[in-house]
Amino acid sequence: MAILSVLGVSKAFRGLRALDAVSFEVGRGEILGVIGPNGAGKTTLFSVLAGALPPDAGRVVLDGRNITGGPAHRVARAGLVRTFQLMRPFASMSVLDNVCIAAMTRVRSRREAHARAVDVVKRVGLEKWQDARADTLPTAWLKRLELARALATRPRVLLLDEVLAGLAPAEREPVLDLLAGLRERDGLTMVFVEHVMAAVMRLSDRVLVLDQGAVLMSGPPGQVTADPRVIEVYLGEEPC
Amino acid sequence: MRNLAVLGVLVVVLAPLALVLPPAQQAVAVRVLIFALMAIGWNVMSGFGGMFSFGHAAYFGIGAYTSVWLLVKHNVSPWLGMLAGAALAAAFGTLTGFLALRYRLRGAYFALATFAVAEMLRLLATGSDLVNRAVGYNVPLLRGNSWSMLQFPAGSPNYFWVGLGLVAAAVAISLLYLRSRAGRFTLAARDDEVAAASVGVPVLRYQLFTIALSAAITAVAGVFYVQYYLYVNPDLAFGASVSIQAILPAVIGGVGTVWGPVVGAVILGPLSDVTATLLRQPPEFLGFLAGRGGLDVMLYAILLIVIVLALPQGVYGAAAERLRRWRS
Amino acid sequence: MSGVVVTQAVITGILTGGVYGLVAMGLTLIFGVLDIVNFAHGAFLALALFLTYGVVRTTGAHPYLALLIAVPVMFGLGWLVQFTVLNRAMGKPLANQLLITLAVSLLIENGLLLFFGADPRSVRFPGEHGIGVFGAVASLSRVLAFAAALVLAAGLYLFLRRTRVGTAIRAVAANRQGAELVGVDVRHIYALTFAIGTACAGAAGTLVAPFTTIEPTTGSLFTIIAFVVVVLGGLGNVLGALAGGVLIGLTEQLGGVFVPSQSSLLIVFAVFLLVLFLRPQGLFGRTG
């Protein structure tokens, strides 16, 4: 059975159709890349999946459990956690404390939560910044903090919203290695939105194409990116 | 923990003050303690919780009126009155907080809503025979010291000790709260509500808890106020100046810090007296100002502007930050 | 319930509401353009009240002549406050701005208290008499105040819509960065807008002087009502403020008639909370 099922999700904002009967499934341990031109509805989709935005129609089912409509914290507790395109650190706290907060939502013992946080911080390569205030971090490391926070909750499904945005090409590889490692080591299921095609090609098992709120097609990365319809939809978009 | 140790030392060092200070200064000291208690309460919700309240008089007044009403009508000890007032204020805060947060009021709208609620309580009290309308209540005078009824002769050091104890308790609660799970979650939600929810923090639950705690502390301040000044009416309990008095020390000292409100109270408390003394004997060319009120508040206002513009972290907040940076 | 009493309440409510609208227009403009909650708004009105009193006492002139002094003074003072103090708090957290305008309000009101004392004062309107309106009685000063408020409102509206400066103001309200990009000096616009806002409060102060108790705390009351009206009419919506003002004026007077045991302000606040909860964008929504 798929770990995440999205069934006919629609959302409109004052007449503008942001999502139009979007349906897809994600298998356990699968990495699904979501691509589409700007305004295609990708971030809206994530907001709906994470329970931050209630859909007008449709259902979101996580491992057999209906999580449609949130609230956001309950969806996160159920195991579906998202990261944000524009990073949202807890600015007044240290990096470690940021991750601790996330761990504490799962683990009652402070010592255990702390230990888990230290471990996660090490895994994403943030040990050197462990005690620095979160708002002093440069972009690349803030991205990792987002990731670390999400991982500290031991999610079942991770939604990554443009995790590579704002990173220089040299900074991207380590992040991609990290993500690949997550799937290898933990069997983590991931859905990620990305504009950087190379990353999509490298990481995804399958690719879903969104255009104007509707699913255009889905399939293996090579097949999708070669499809003429997809190419046309991206015509005029900047290559990365 | 280091801060708790500092607190303990402070209490021990300050306690003898009550025996040494002359009555006029004693009154100032008690006023400082009341300001501090109010500001600590405000700071829990608006500093730690990030929910700027402009109507904390609501909780102060609920505490004051609950206690004095129980005392006058049923001869209930003000200590119990404190418990009742705190509980009632916490419940009221939870209810109004729930409505405001659930309807997504934030920032200026939230602040205005809290102001409206406090004003409504003031108007309701002024118009209600149940609580004696605008006349208010006088605390029945007792002879001698009464610890059970929290009343002592004027100028008694006991008031100072009770106040010191209450402030120390409030500071201790703040310290423990900040380290607790609830406190950490609240700080995270203050920094970024959306991010906190996205990692599983039940934001609303902890925001309401913070409001309840804040209300309870401020209500206790209200009870102590009544027992010290022996009188309360709707304006003194629910008036806008009460809400302002809860905000000023925290801002001057440092919002969102534990010691800030206390430092701010220590700065502002004596200011009223200084200006009153000045105005009693003004210089020649300002003779017409003699005996007039308003200068102390003007000084508060100027101080507030200076702090907000030049030292937004507050006096204590900026000093603590400077110290932290010097250490690392 | 006597029809005459209700009619009287309606007439008084509309007339008072017009002036509320004038005060609120200034506030909503400030709110809409600078995103500032100006707690000092009523204080400027109070300042104008005392200024009017001073002018009438020393020169014996008609109170409306004080407009010639009150409006420019409040304009200049507002400009000063914005340019020197508030400007530094722009872009900072909301609490900072709230606290600064609060401090300004405390400064002004207590300055008035210090110099004039707390005794209430009054100003008489020469030729004051009652005018029959639909069977109710309206004092001349109230009618003229209402008319003046409408004229000023129309003037402000036209200024915002038809002049270059007014358009610049609306542009900054809609999109600050965009306005900057097309060459608008945003800091001057901020100061100008704030000054216009306080000038409105000042004008209202002179207009209400003949029928309002002149004491330092009068300002606070107007600030509160202005905020209620602004929320009701929609942030930044100048015409909405006028309509909202009339609505609140009516609510206040009719509340006093139908629920005499409680302060009519209570009902105003209840309406305020309802609007905040159920329709925070106001009855008329926000304009650019």
Question: Which residues form the domain of A7?
Answer: 1-79+156-240
Helix (H) or strand (E) holding A150: helix A139-152
Residue A7 has what pLDDT? Answer: 93
| pLDDT greater than 60 at residue A154 | yes
Average pLDDT over residues B53-80: 95
CA distance B95 to chain A (A): 20
Q: Which of C95, C96, C110 sits opposite B298 (nearest CB)?
A: C110
Domain ranges of chain B: 2-239
| Among candidate residues C204, C228, C201, the one with its CA nearest the CA of residue C283 | C228
Of residues C260 and B316, more confidently modeled: B316
Encode A81-106: b = buried (16+ Cβ within 10 Å), e = exposed: bbbbbebbbbebbbbbbbbbbbbbbb
The encoded tokens of residue C215 equal 């004491």
Q: DSSP 3-state assignment of A216?
A: strand
If asked whether residues A51 and A102 sit together in one domain, one would say no
Domain presence at residue A84: no
Whether the CB-CB separation of C210 and C46 falls below 8 Å is answered with: no
CATH for C3-278, options being 1.10.3470, 3.30.110, 1.10.10, 2.60.120: 1.10.3470
Tell me how far apart the alpha carbons of residues B25 and A6 are, in angstroms, rounded to a whole number.
70
Q: Clarify whether residues A70 and A99 are in a common domain.
A: no
- Give start and end residues of each alpha helix (H) in chain B: 2-14, 17-20, 23-43, 57-74, 78-102, 107-127, 157-179, 181-191, 193-198, 203-229, 234-238, 240-253, 260-280, 295-310, 315-327
Beta carbons of B197 and A76 less than 8 Å apart = yes
Share in percent of chain A as helix, strand, coil (round to 5): 40, 25, 35
pLDDT higher than 50, residue C39:
yes
Shared domain for A204 and A104, answered yes or no, is no
Bridge partners of A190, per DSSP, are A31, A158
| Whole-structure pTM value | 0.91
Taking contacts as CB-CB distances below 8 angstroms, the residues of chain B near A72 are: 194, 197-198
Q: Which residues of chain C have a CB within 8 Å of the CB of B301?
A: 103-104, 106-107, 110
**What pLDDT, on a 0 to 100 scale, did the predictor assign at position A240?**
54
Residue in B107, B108, B294 nearest the CB of C113? B294
pLDDT in the model for residue C249: 94
For residue B249, what are its two tokens? Answer: 């020390």
Alpha helices by DSSP H, listed for chain C, are 3-34, 41-59, 67-80, 94-116, 140-162, 164-174, 176-181, 186-208, 218-233, 238-258, 264-278
pLDDT in tens, B171-208: 999 999 999 999 999 999 999 999 999 999 999 999 99
Residue A239 has pLDDT above 60, yes or no: no
Helix intervals (H) in A187-238: 197-203, 221-226, 228-234
A87 found inside a domain: no
Give residue C263's pLDDT.
Answer: 83
Place of tokens 């308003």: B294
Measuring CA to CA, how many Å separate A143 from each of A34, A86, B133, B198, C197?
19, 9, 59, 15, 44
Q: What is the pLDDT of residue B223?
A: 96
Whether A9 is covered by a domain: the verdict is: yes
pLDDT > 90? residue C123: no
| Neighbour subunits, C (≥3 Cβ pairs < 8 A) | B
Q: Which of A24-28, A30-34, A50-54, B321-325 has the lowest mean pLDDT?
A: B321-325
CA torsion sign for C258, C264, C267, C271 is positive
Contact state of B192 with A93 under an 8 Å Cβ cutoff: no
DSSP class per residue in B197-245: HHTT--HHHHHHHHHHHHHHHHHHHHHHHHHHH-EE-HHHHH-HHHHHH
Total domains in chain A come to: 2
Phi-psi group of A212: left, alpha or beta (phi > 0 → left; psi -120 to 50 → alpha; rest → beta)? left
Clarify whether residues A174 and A234 are in a common domain.
Answer: yes
Rounded CA-CA distance C62/C60 in Å is 7
Q: Which amino acid is at B318?
A: A
* C224 vs B contacts (CB less than 8 Å): 115, 119
pLDDT digits (tens, 9 = 90+) for C181-193: 888 888 888 899 9
The minimal CB distance from B301 to the residues C88, C106, C262 is found for C106
Task: Give domain status of residue A85, yes or no.
Answer: no
> How far is Cα B25 from Cα B227, in angstroms, rounded to an integer?
18
- pLDDT score at A165: 83
Q: Are residues A216 and A139 in the same domain?
A: no
Q: What letter does residue C136 receive in the DSSP assignment?
A: E
* Model confidence band, residue C49 (pLDDT cutoffs 50, 70, 90): very high
ipTM for the predicted complex: 0.89
Q: Which residue has the tokens 């942001």?
A: A18
Looking at residue A26, its pLDDT comes to 94
Question: For an interface test with B, which of C36, C82, C97, C99 has the most B Cβ atoms less than 10 Å from its Cβ?
Answer: C99
In a shared domain, residues A10 and A106: no
Task: State pLDDT tens for residues A97-110.
Answer: 999 999 999 998 99
CB contact under 8 A, A91 and B191: yes
Give A89's contacts in chain B (Cβ within 8 Å). Answer: 191-192, 195
Backbone angles phi, psi at B39, to 5 degrees: -70, -35
State what percent of residues in chain A have pLDDT above 70: 98
Report the pLDDT value the prediction gives residue B115, as an integer from 0 to 100: 93
Distance to chain A for B202, nearest Cα, Å: 6
CB-CB under 8 Å, C277 with B105: yes
pLDDT digits (tens, 9 = 90+) for A81-102: 999 988 899 999 999 999 999 9
Neighbouring-strand partners of residue C212: none
What's the confidence (pLDDT) of residue C288? 37
- Grouping H, G, I as helix, E, B as strand and the rest as coil, residue C198 is helix
pLDDT digits (tens, 9 = 90+) for A43-75: 899 999 999 999 999 999 999 899 998 899 999
pLDDT band at B2 (very low <50, low <70, confident <90, very high): confident
Measured between beta carbons, which residues in chain C are less than 8 angstroms from residue B293? 110, 113-114, 118
In this structure, the answer to whether residues A147 and A163 fall within a common structural domain is no
Q: Higher pLDDT residue, A185 or B211?
A: B211
Return the residue in B42, B115, B120 with the most chain C beta carbons within 10 A, the one to mutate for interface testing.
B120
Overall average pLDDT of the B133-147 stretch: 87
At residue A117, the pLDDT reads: 95
CATH number at residue A4: 3.40.50.300
Report the alpha-carbon distance of residue C17 to residue A62 in Å, rounded. 56
- My answer on whether A200 and A223 are in the same domain is yes
Exposed, middle or buried, B204 (CB in 10 Å: 0-12/13-18/19+)?
A: middle
Alpha-carbon separation of residue C32 from C36, C150, C174, C238 (angstroms): 8, 20, 9, 9
> pLDDT confidence of A238, banded at 50, 70, 90?
low
The overall average pLDDT reported for chain A is 89
